[in-house]
Structure 1
Amino acid sequence: MNLSDRERRMLAEIEQGLRGRDRLFACRIDALNAACARRRTQRFACHTGRRELTCVLLLVIAMTALSMLVVLLAGHARPAPAPYPPPGTALEELGRAPAG
């Protein structure tokens, strides 16, 4: 989450005010900033593990395969059945001989 310059300035002012009034807060903030600098990560970064990435990748592959299957099966739909003759039409008129 990126902050605008105005928001960063406001947070810095709040932090400076708290640092002046609360020495324990200043020590905590310094320790937190030092720990983040050592790890070279963002303070509130989301860490994802290998298992989570694997699950997401497998889910994407499965959804892609399912989508492709639906598209392929929809392209090979059965042809529409021949329409029934209107009522009152004799079979001889249609060019079909009666069965039996």
Structure 2
Amino acid sequence: MGMIDQLNKDFESRVRLGIMSVLMVNDWVDFTEMKSLLNITDGNLASHSTALEKAQYIEVKKEFVGKKPKTSYRVTQKGREAFKAHLDSLEILLKSNS
């Protein structure tokens, strides 16, 4: 198995890398804040966050604040471990090619 096979396919997209990076250092982040931090469209954030939720890497909380729906995201323990392993593999890949 080559070095590149150690990288997690779930984190290949720059949007998913961005979502995970934000959630690794923040507790709950809401949809609007995440969208503006990553400078992406509603649809882009919705589809990538759904994929990460399906993989159980993030938790999605939907609630109403007043009459407005609010969606927030938080990394799960499984997500934290998977993302850290992905970053460790990237680091090894970088070191082995320098």
Q: TM-score interval w.r.t. the shorter chain? A: under 0.3
What TM-score, normalized to structure 2?
Answer: 0.26
Q: Considering only CA atoms, is the larger Rg found in Structure 1 or Structure 2?
A: 1
TM-score by length of 1: 0.25
